[in-house]
A and B are shown apart, each in its own frame.
Chain A
Amino acid sequence: MFAILVGGTDIEFNLATLQATIPYGYYVSILLGLAGLKAILIAMFYQHLKYEPRSLSSWVIIGLVIASLLMSLSFIQLHAH
């Protein structure tokens, strides 16, 4: 687990040094995607969500879904002017 996380971070670091060669949009998306992946792994394994009763994990997931909804709304406002 730890190795995966470190590996992911290493990828990010290297990506940054190559930053000039990748289109900016893809660059940001990949980075954020990697960050999201790491976050999920930490939550599932370090915070033990994978092993917790279903009720607790659904709790967290529902919250995250709603949070994403809000972020989308804000994005629309920022970019669709």
Chain B
Amino acid sequence: MAAQSDHMSQDIFPPRVRRWLFTTNHKEVGILYLVTALFFFVAAGLLALTMRTQLSVPDNNVLNEGLYNQFVTVHGLLMIFWVLSPFAFGFANYIIPLQIGARDLAFPRLNAMSYWFYLFSGVAIIMSFIFGAPDLGWTLYSPQTAFQFTPTIGLNVGAAALILITVSITMSSVNFLVTMFKMRAPGMKLRNVPVFPWAILVTIFMMLYAFPSFLAAVLLLYVDRAFGTFYFSSIQGGALLWDNVFWFFGHPEVYIVLFPAIGLIADVIPTFTRRPLYGSKYVIGSMIAAAVISFIVWGHHMFVTGIGLTSTKLYTVTTIAVSLPFDVMVIAMIETLIKARIKLKAAALFALGAIALFVIGGITGVYLASVALDHALRGTYFVVAHFHYIMVGGSIMGLIAGLYYWFPKITGRMYNETVAKIHFVVSFIGFNILYFPMFLLLDMPRRIQTYAPDTGWGPLNSLATLGGFIFGGAQVLLFLNLFLSQRRGPPSGPNPWDGWTLEWSLPSPVPAHDFDTIPTIAEDGTYRFGNGSNYPNGSAHLEHSKVGNGLSYSHLEGMSPWPIVMAFAAFLFFLGLSIGQPTSPNPVSFKPFWPLIADGAILGVISLYGYSREKFSVHEESRVESWPFREVPNVKLGIWTFLGAEVIFFGVLIGAYFFVRTNSATWPGVGELFSIRNGFAMTLVLLTSSLTAIMALASAKIGSRNGLIAGLLATFGLGASFLYIKATEWIELGTHGVFNVANGLPATSYFITTGTHGVHVVAGMCMTVYLLVNTVRGRYIKGDYHAIEHFGLYWHFVDIVWVFLFPLFYLI
């Protein structure tokens, strides 16, 4: 990691360790992501090689069944969450601002925080091995994940890790979205943006709307295990509730890990064929179409659960339909080869190889879309082969292409081309020897630690293991090549591939401030670039003109300790929630481990305070291209985007309630359990609090300090009243009515759904306190009322959620 830093020696930087811990510069965060992702890649790969060794012959005992199940689970979790996406986002962080002509992301500290959340979540998942790692497959099916069947802490720690990485991803999503819409260089219209940033944009949308579902699922699993609720341990919820909620996230997720690589390939191939991408707008359109359709295919993971032919046939149609956009993408890339001048450098080899392997993976996906075929193939190695062809053959190979493609840009040095080509050949052959036999093993179940000799599966498994070692061994060439070249490879110059996307116009490695002057793109698509002094009038100039003296750019390569501190606080908090022992004397759930939780909470509050008080400003270019959100300020756009994710989150929680209620033969009638009067009162209170929030905003806008204070105080007070009524209601239900979570699903769904809403109310009230303190200090009344507005957006949303919860729980 430290080895990468000598390329920055031109600019003056503080001591290296502090720099890497506190950086918010998109390039450094990108490098952190890349290196960490590669580390997890090796770790997960070693897990896989151990599994392959165990499976190489029948009746083997290198790994006992318990360990094998842990290995297969963590291998899947690591690769999907801690390798594939972070690897892609390492590139996205480094390259995308350069490609769109921005100096950094919209929210640099948030960006750094995303990385640290990612890192600590990775620490958590590795730590889970201490307690017995999760061992039910990365898909964590219910009800085997319930406390009753898995009373071990390791799964809780795994859940904590997953929550942390979801938070990381949500922050990244908001960040990249605002950046790509609001920080492009003048003249860089959306249609001019290269395919890789587009792919990332599409990926971000999928992340934003899929991960909240996952968060809800993991949250519900956690409360089941920690508080004894019944979402996944009951028959009414159970296997199918998890199946639906998980795969609603899970299917877009596998596209999330694929799309960046496809975008990368779509940009790499033209560079090495010396012609523009064929049909680039159709490629982008197809990506959008595939992303949208990806949300309505999840049922194909449930073909044999018995949901009925109406549903399964519908999912067959949608799943087969989603292959059409991919057809278009592949054809476009192949057409780019026509009448081209193809230079088969390592990046091109990997890109083309990735396409070929992706085609095989895609075709076999169509097999699995057929319900009849799925009844034989479900849970077999055919499925394993299919998704490895896509995820390793398509995604990893594509990302490695990116590694060779951008290595010169990031390090300023050229890798050894011959070794890279050998790496490709050995990898490609090894890959096919490893995974193709698995198609032929379509009778063999997945996730089994061993198999009997009389099944006849031995020879193909041995062959696959051989392929595994060849493929794994080949990666040593990759690491050696890159590591050694980075130290002593020849300088690469700014544009070794003669590329034409904006990053190639900058020196290699890219200096701290990226562009001396952000280029302006004229109507005919031309622009000036380079560190020259001839610029046409009207291009955006940087305030400081001192190049090479890093000190002037404090706001660009700004350092902040709060991202890592905040991430560590969250890590402690969630770890504390997950390592408590089972309750005794009758274990039904886990106790939280309060010391860690308290530490984490205190540190979190401190870091929130420090974060908000820090003088960290982002230089916003005066002229940017920002259609279609020209008139919408950055933070407001960010907040609305975040609210969209919240809609999905609450949607899934409410959906879970509908699910268990529909499946329940009996349910308390209207008014039997909850006092409708209470609900009515709470609704009125909350509606009034929205009114007072509006009045607060109005006061801020006209500069009335007292009005603002009054409004904020009233909102706080009403929020407190809401919580008070709720608290009394809960206490009454708990003691008099003996209505607690042990009573089954009505209680479970009521407490958890309204409870989550309550947490959001508390958060809102904390915001009110913060705003009040600042108002007393004189802020918000001199035209800077935006924080009040943003709080309002959040608060009204919380109100909207209650507007639905009131009838759903009290009135029906």
Contacts and interface: CB of A to CB of B under 8 A. Distances in A.
Q: Do A and B come from one complex?
A: yes
Interface of A: 2, 5-6, 9, 12-13, 15-17, 19, 27-28, 31-32, 34-35, 38-39, 42-43, 46-48, 52-53, 55-56, 59-60, 63-64, 66-67, 69-71, 73-74, 76-81
B676 A17 contact: yes
B811 A12 contact: yes
A32 B807 contact: yes
Given A15-B811, A42-B690, 16 more contacts: A2-B691, A12-B680, A13-B676, A13-B680, A17-B676, A32-B808, A35-B803, A35-B806, A35-B808, A39-B804, A42-B799, A46-B792, A53-B631, A67-B651, A77-B299, A78-B662
Given A12-B807, A46-B694, A55-B629, A60 B796 contact: no
A73 B648 CA distance: 15
Interface-centre pick from A12, A31, A77 (highest chain B CB count, 10 A): A77
Interface of B: 209, 244, 248, 292, 295-296, 299, 307-308, 310-311, 314, 628-632, 636-637, 640, 644, 647-648, 651, 655, 658-659, 662, 670-671, 676, 680, 683-684, 687-688, 690-691, 693-694, 789, 792-793, 796-797, 799-800, 803-804, 806-808, 810-812
A6 B296 contact: no
17 contacts: A5-B687, A12-B680, A12-B807, A17-B676, A31-B811, A32-B804, A35-B806, A38-B800, A46-B694, A55-B629, A55-B630, A55-B631, A56-B640, A66-B292, A66-B295, A69-B296, A77-B244
Given A2-B687, A9-B687, A56-B629, A78 B680 contact: no
A58 to B, nearest CB: 8
A74 B244 contact: yes
Contacts of B793: 47
B810 A76 contact: no
A40 to B, nearest CB: 9
B575 to A, nearest CB: 33
A76 B244 CA distance: 13
Nearest to B676: A16
B659 to A, nearest CB: 7
Contacts of B670: 16, 19
Contacts of B812: 27-28, 31
B647 A63 contact: yes
B632 A52 contact: yes
Contacts of A64: 647
A17 B209 CA distance: 38
Contacts of A63: 209, 644, 647
Nearest to B677: A13
A29 B461 CA distance: 57
Given A42-B690, A55-B628, A67 B811 contact: no
A74 B548 CA distance: 58
A14 B680 CA distance: 10
Nearest to A10: B680
Contacts of B647: 63-64, 67
Contacts, number: 124
Interface-centre pick from A15, A66, A69 (highest chain B CB count, 10 A): A66
B655 A74 contact: yes
Contact of B310 (A9, A55, A80): A80
Contacts of A2: 687-688, 691
B797 A53 contact: no
A16 B690 contact: no
A74 B605 CA distance: 39
Contact of A60 (B310, B640, B659): B640
Q: Which DSSP category, helix, strand, loop or mixed, fits chain A's interface?
A: helix
Contacts of A35: 803-804, 806-808
B811 A19 contact: yes
A53 B626 CA distance: 13
B644 to A, nearest CB: 5
Contacts of A42: 690, 796, 799-800, 803
Contact of B632 (A16, A53, A74, A77): A53
Pick the 9 closest A-B CB pairs, nearest first: A31-B807, A55-B628, A81-B308, A53-B631, A46-B796, A80-B310, A16-B811, A39-B800, A13-B680
A45 B812 CA distance: 28
B658 A78 contact: yes
Nearest to A52: B632
A9 B800 CA distance: 13
A47 B803 contact: no
B271 to A, nearest CB: 33
B589 to A, nearest CB: 28
A39 B687 contact: no
Contacts of A46: 690, 693-694, 792, 796, 799
B311 A9 contact: no
Nearest to A20: B670
Nearest to A9: B683
A43 B796 contact: yes
B626 to A, nearest CB: 10
A16 B673 CA distance: 13
Given A28-B812, A47-B793, A60-B644, A12 B307 contact: no
A9 B811 contact: no
Contacts of A47: 792-793, 796-797
Nearest to B663: A78
Contacts of B691: 2
Contacts of A38: 800, 803
Contacts of B796: 42-43, 46-47
B296 A73 contact: yes
Contacts of A5: 687
Contacts of A69: 295-296
Contacts of B800: 38-39, 42-43
Given A6-B684, A12-B811, A56-B632, A78 B803 contact: no
A28 B299 CA distance: 27
A77 B676 CA distance: 31
B810 A39 contact: no
Contact of A80 (B311, B651, B659): B311
Contacts of B797: 47
Nearest to B647: A67
A9 B807 CA distance: 9
